[in-house]
Amino acid sequence: MEKPTKNRQISTQNFKQIPDWFLPFIEHLFDKPTLKFWKTAIQRGKVSPHPVWEFVTKKVVQNRVLLLGDAAHMASPRTGAGAYSAMVDAVVLETAFKQGENIIESLKMYNKSTVNRGRELYNHSRKSASYFAPDNRKIVSPKVMLERLQSQQALNMK
């Protein structure tokens, strides 16, 4: 899948193609019945790639410009925290303006709180993704899986 553009748009040109690494990745992580399920689903066109973007930043305030919500931190939909975290950002910003002695101090307070919550949300998002992987397998990135697949194919051709 292509990386998103600056405005977060993803090209749908190759969106329906299953990457070469997908089935070897499933085979590595799961058992034969699970692999058979995914092969069958792919053959019948019942698999649509859906990217999940996670994002955390070290800074959400620059001078008097600030980020909140998904612009400041983004987690997997599995966390159920999207709209909630944006609302919390708004409340934290309001509180910072009430407690700060001036705009600069208020924005520093907001930045510190939002960055910390964003980091916690990111960690929670990563942990929630791990629930779908079996405990007894070593997690391997799709890039490593693709490299292994290409090596195996090269050996089979010899």
Q: What is the pLDDT along the chain (158 residues), one digit of tens a residue?
A: 555 565 555 544 545 677 777 888 788 778 889 899 999 988 887 777 666 778 888 999 999 899 998 888 888 887 888 889 999 999 999 999 999 999 999 999 999 999 999 999 988 888 887 776 666 666 667 677 778 778 877 887 77
Query: What is the total count of domains within the chain?
Result: 2
Whether residues 26 and 84 fall in one domain: no
Per DSSP bridges, beta strands 73-74 and 65-66 are unpaired
Q: Which residues pair with 61 in a beta bridge?
A: 66
Whether residues 88 and 64 fall in one domain: yes
Q: Which residues pair with 65 in a beta bridge?
A: 62
153 domain-assigned: no
Whether residues 60 and 101 fall in one domain: yes
Whether residues 95 and 109 fall in one domain: yes
d(CA 130, CA 52): 13
Whether residues 32 and 95 fall in one domain: no
Nearest to 22 by CA among 10, 7, 34, 8: 34
136 domain-assigned: no
Per DSSP bridges, beta strands 61-62 and 73-74 are unpaired
> Which range of residues forms the domain containing residue 72?
55-130
